[in-house]
Structures are given as C-alpha cells and as structure tokens.
Copies of this chain bind each other. A is one copy, B any other.
Amino acid sequence: MHIVIDRSSKISVKEQVRLEFAQRIRSGLLENGFQLPSVRQLSAQLSISLVTAHKVYNSLEIDGLIESIRGKGSFVKYPKSLSTAVPQNIPQAIQNPFDWQLAISDYLPRASLWSQSAIRLSPEILDLATASIHYTLLPLELLQTSIKKSLQQYPHSLGIYSPYQGDSEFLSAISNYLVAQKIPIHTHQLIVTNGTQQGMDLFARTFLGPGDIVAMEVPCFPGTIDAFRLSHATIQPVPIDHDGIRIDVLEDLSTHMKIKAIYTVPTCQNPTGSIMSLKRRMELLEFATNNNVLILEDDPHRELALPPSQSLNKLPPPLKILDQTGRVVYLKGFSKFLFPGLRLGIVAADGTIFNRLLAIKSIADLGSPLWLQKALIALFSNPQLLQYIKKLIQRLEYRSELVTAKLSKDLNPLIRYQKKQGGMHLWLTLPYSISADNLIPIAHHQGIHFLPGSIFYPGEPEQNHLRICWTNLSDDDLPKALDILCRILNQSVNP
C-alpha cells in the first residue's frame, strides 16, 4: 500500500492519510480482518508524527471502519457486502492459504465500481444501479445485420491485428456519424478505445501523477474518480450549479494552485443529468486557455438529451468543437445508447496530445479488436441508426415522464431530485442525517438495488444521496422498482 502525501496541500496530513485508508477499506481493497501497521510503524513509514498516526486510526475507528484492540493492534472491520450480515470474528486470523500475499504492497487507492460489483445480488432483485438501457430498447437487429455483413465482407480481419489508432474504415464511419450529429471530428483526431473508461484512464496515465492537480465536477462518475485516484494526482472537487461546473470556484482555486486538467461531462452530467449552458461552456474554455489547463470532456449521453428543454438540434456543441486551441480531449462512448456488450468508444485529441495518447494506448493493450471495428462499420453507415436514436428518445421521454409522475406523487417532498434534462440517471438527495449506504441492506431485502451516492465523491463522501438508473429495467419492472424505492425512502424519512 503506497500512500502519497502532498505536504503543500491545504488538506491536513492527517486527513489525507485517513482518506487513503478509508477509500481502500470502503473499496474492499483492504479486507475485513486485515491488520494495519502499528501507530509506530505508520509514523515511521510515512514520516508523520506519532500523534498524527494515532489521530488517523482514531478517526477511522469513530467512522466504524477499523477496530483497535489493546495489545493486539488495529484491524479492518468492514464487511465486504453491507447487505450480507456476515458475523465478524475480529481479530481472528484470516484463514487464507495465500496469507503471505498480504505483505505484497500495491498501488491501488480505491476501486469503487469493483467493490459494488462484489455485492452478490440474487437474480430476482430489480437493478436500479447499472447504467444501461434495457436491451429490448437497443437496436440489436441493426447490430446483428452489421455483424453478419462483416463476416462476409471482412473475414480476414479476424486474423489480423488492428493498428493502434484503429481501423481506418471504422474511424471514417465514426467520423461521418459524428459529423451527422454536428460534431465535426475527423479520423486523424480519433483513437479507438475499450469504452470511455479506457479513454479517461489513458488520459490520467499520460498526464496525471503525484503533485498534479485535476479539478472535477462533484458529484461525479465513480469510474473517473477511480482512474484519477490511481494516477496518484490530487483531485480538487468543484461543485456544479444549474448551468454546469462553477467557474467562480475554479477561478478562486487557481489563485493558489496550478490546475493541470479539468474533467467534465457537460451534456447530461452523470449523475445529475444536467446540461452545461453554452455561455458556461465558453467561460470554461476561456478559463482553461487563460490558465493553460487541459480539459477532459466526457460525452457518453449526448444522444440521450431529452425534449422539450433540449433536443439534439438545440444542444450546445461539445467543448471540443468550441475549442480553438487543441486543449480539449474528447471522449465519446457508444455503450450508453448502442452496445454495452461491445465496449468500443473513441478519444479525440490534437497535436502531440494525440500522439501521446496513442503511445499509451499501444502500451495498454496494443489496440482494440480489429474485427469488432469491422463488424460495426455497416451499423454506423446505416441511415436507420439515426431513426433508431429518434425513436429511442421518444421512448425515454415517455419513461422519464412516468418516473417524474411517480416520484412527485409518491415520494416524501423532503427527498429532493433534479428535473431531468437527459441521460439515464436520477440523483436523489435525502435529508442530511440519513445515509443511503445504510439503506442498501434494506433495499436488497425488499428487492431492489441502487448506487449509494457516497462513491460519487473523490474526497470525503456525502452519504445522503443515491443514484438510480431508470432505463435499465423492463417496462414491467420499472414501476415495481419505483414503488419499492419510494416505500424505502419515505420510511427512512418518516420511520
């Protein structure tokens, strides 16, 4: 376990070290029963005072993450799944034939989605957590047609490596699709990735490291936080308002720190669903140019913007298109509205930033599967694709209204949520004293699953939020799941 302390940070050393432990424990990377170094050892390893080391463990114990036993030491006390009431025998020795491995240190600070996936759900539980569109709404027939066509047209591509950048025909098809969406990005700017998650990981690995500061919207997609934390950069949370990331906060931060990069999902933000105004986009670009900051723009949900407040024709362009300076790195995913089972996305960049991202793609996996790219060329060239997107928006609009009607009728008004502008999520805020994490075992017991809001924060988690995805269930199951959700949340507010 490697802990990087930033002694120039405004956050206290104690708080930094506490957070490193807390995130590893909450992720399950430090397992239940794991013996922590003694206060003396921790103090020596990190060159911190004994008092600070003691305070770190004290806070962790108050938060219920560890247990200190006089004469024995401090042990992680955090069951893997909060939903399974595993009896805790601490500090019982771990019965693991690979016990010696615990001494092998690693560089993982947190892995929040992995820790969520470790929760074993029985199949009858209705999943409001996974962010995808129910497969009956996806264009599976268009996909099958495209795949069959490629088997005839490109059989040899099964037996050939892809160029690191991607297949040139596939890149052309993607570029044409983007142009049709009024996003003029061209093949020489594109690199194929395994979904946008790989794109953000490549960016973080190339440009972020210990001592670098990356500003990000909060709340924010946990996978991004994981990737940034893994780079050991310092994450600076920036709040959002109705128009998007707050420039006044960025300006204020930049008076006393050098921000290297900003991460944002300007269109249908995850988890709030909000859309950054054109004015705010221009202000953000101006800030970035004035302060020589890179922008990582993540755009997986653009096709899911909802009318009437927004339509594809009225949406402000991506930052990448508004930018004249080559400082925006643009991630475009297709998992959310087309094919989560194929995991192909793209990253678009210019100049040496493009070169450097391509270099790291070659190291990460030597390129994405050639044949999979060939299999999708017909899909992206098919005029029916745009018709499908239109129809999908109509169906999601219907669903979205169903969800709003349901919640406004049945949910206690103490529980707040933002009116949807697009995307597939809803971000719910409970009264401050209620922890959504604590509701998860109850939810599982009653037959639903959702994501606790706590994993959407890079630093100290706020626990009174939760995210639901309203597109992942069938038409039949969604109302049932919402019923259960309202019941649980109302009960938590008014027990």
Q: Does A428 sit within 8 A of B, measured CB to CB?
A: no
Shortest distance from the beta carbon of A418 to any chain B beta carbon, whole Å? 25
Supposing A111-B359, A341-B370, A372-B369 touch, asked if A104 and B151 sit within 8 A by C-beta, the answer is no
Q: Does A93 sit within 8 A of B, measured CB to CB?
A: no
Supposing A138-B158, A151-B147, A353-B101 touch, asked if A366 and B209 sit within 8 A by C-beta, the answer is no
- Contact B368 A343, beta carbon cutoff 8 Å: yes
Shortest distance from the beta carbon of A151 to any chain B beta carbon, whole Å? 5
Q: How far is the CA of A368 from the CA of B341 in the complex (A)?
A: 9
Supposing A117-B164, A159-B339, A340-B161 touch, asked if A325 and B100 sit within 8 A by C-beta, the answer is yes
Supposing A343-B367, A351-B101 touch, asked if A205 and B157 sit within 8 A by C-beta, the answer is no
- Contact A106 B356, beta carbon cutoff 8 Å: yes
Q: Does A2 sit within 8 A of B, measured CB to CB?
A: yes
One digit per residue, 1 when the CB lies within 8 angstroms of any chain B CB and 0 when it does not, for chain A 147-162 equals 1100100011111111
Cβ-neighbour of A209 out of B28, B107, B356 (below 8 A):
B107
| One of A63-71, A191-199, A305-313, A454-462 contacting the partner | A191-199
- Contact A223 B363, beta carbon cutoff 8 Å: yes
Max count, chain B CB within 10 A of own CB: residue among A151, A326, A362: A362
- Contact A359 B107, beta carbon cutoff 8 Å: no
Shortest distance from the beta carbon of A449 to any chain B beta carbon, whole Å? 15
- Contact A363 B130, beta carbon cutoff 8 Å: no
Shortest distance from the beta carbon of A319 to any chain B beta carbon, whole Å? 16
Shortest distance from the beta carbon of A117 to any chain B beta carbon, whole Å? 6
Q: How far is the CA of A194 from the CA of B364 in the complex (A)?
A: 9
Supposing A98-B352, A164-B117 touch, asked if A205 and B223 sit within 8 A by C-beta, the answer is no
- Contact A230 B363, beta carbon cutoff 8 Å: yes
Supposing A151-B147, A158-B143, A194-B194 touch, asked if A292 and B364 sit within 8 A by C-beta, the answer is no
Q: Does A381 sit within 8 A of B, measured CB to CB?
A: no
Supposing A158-B138, A158-B143, A207-B107 touch, asked if A198 and B364 sit within 8 A by C-beta, the answer is yes
Q: Does A226 sit within 8 A of B, measured CB to CB?
A: yes
Shortest distance from the beta carbon of A174 to any chain B beta carbon, whole Å? 17
Q: Which residues of B contact A363 (CB under 8 A)?
A: 111, 113-114, 197, 201, 223, 226-227, 230
Q: Which residues of B contact A144 (CB under 8 A)?
A: 151, 155, 158
Shortest distance from the beta carbon of A353 to any chain B beta carbon, whole Å? 6
Q: Please, which residue of chain B has its CB at the minimum distance from the CB of A340? A: B161
Q: Which residues of B contact A135 (CB under 8 A)?
A: 156, 158-160
Shortest distance from the beta carbon of A390 to any chain B beta carbon, whole Å? 19
- Contact B159 A353, beta carbon cutoff 8 Å: no
Shortest distance from the beta carbon of A301 to any chain B beta carbon, whole Å? 16
Kindly identify, within residues 123 to 173 of chain A, every residue whose CB is under 8 Å from any CB belonging to chain B: 130, 132-135, 138, 140, 143-144, 147-148, 151, 155-164
Q: Does A383 sit within 8 A of B, measured CB to CB?
A: no
Q: How far is the CA of A159 from the CA of B360 in the complex (A)?
A: 29
Shortest distance from the beta carbon of A74 to any chain B beta carbon, whole Å? 19
Q: Which residues of B contact A370 (CB under 8 A)?
A: 340-341, 343
Q: Please, which residue of chain B has its CB at the minimum distance from the CB of A151? A: B144
Kindly identify, within residues 194 to 231 of chain A, every residue whose CB is under 8 Å from any CB belonging to chain B: 194-195, 197-198, 201, 205-209, 223, 226-227, 230
Q: Does A335 sit within 8 A of B, measured CB to CB?
A: yes
Q: How far is the CA of A362 from the CA of B117 in the complex (A)?
A: 10
Q: Please, which residue of chain B has its CB at the minimum distance from the CB of A116? A: B362
- Contact A157 B294, beta carbon cutoff 8 Å: no
Kindly identify, within residues 223 to 267 of chain A, every residue whose CB is under 8 Å from any CB belonging to chain B: 223, 226-227, 230, 260
- Contact B161 A341, beta carbon cutoff 8 Å: yes
Q: Does A414 sit within 8 A of B, measured CB to CB?
A: no
Q: Does A102 sit within 8 A of B, measured CB to CB?
A: yes
Residue pairs across A and B with Cβ atoms less than 8 A apart, 20 shown, are A28-B355, A28-B359, A105-B207, A106-B207, A108-B206, A111-B363, A132-B160, A132-B161, A135-B156, A140-B156, A147-B147, A157-B341, A194-B369, A195-B366, A230-B363, A341-B371, A342-B371, A342-B372, A343-B369, A369-B369
Chain A interface residues (CB < 8 Å from chain B): 2, 27-29, 31, 96-98, 100-108, 111, 113-115, 117, 130, 132-135, 138, 140, 143-144, 147-148, 151, 155-164, 193-195, 197-198, 201, 205-209, 223, 226-227, 230, 260, 292, 294, 325-327, 335, 339-344, 350-353, 355-356, 358-360, 362-372
Can you name 9 extra interface pairs (CB under 8 A) apart from A107-B206, A138-B158, A162-B341?
A98-B353, A106-B206, A140-B159, A144-B155, A144-B158, A148-B148, A201-B365, A227-B363, A343-B366
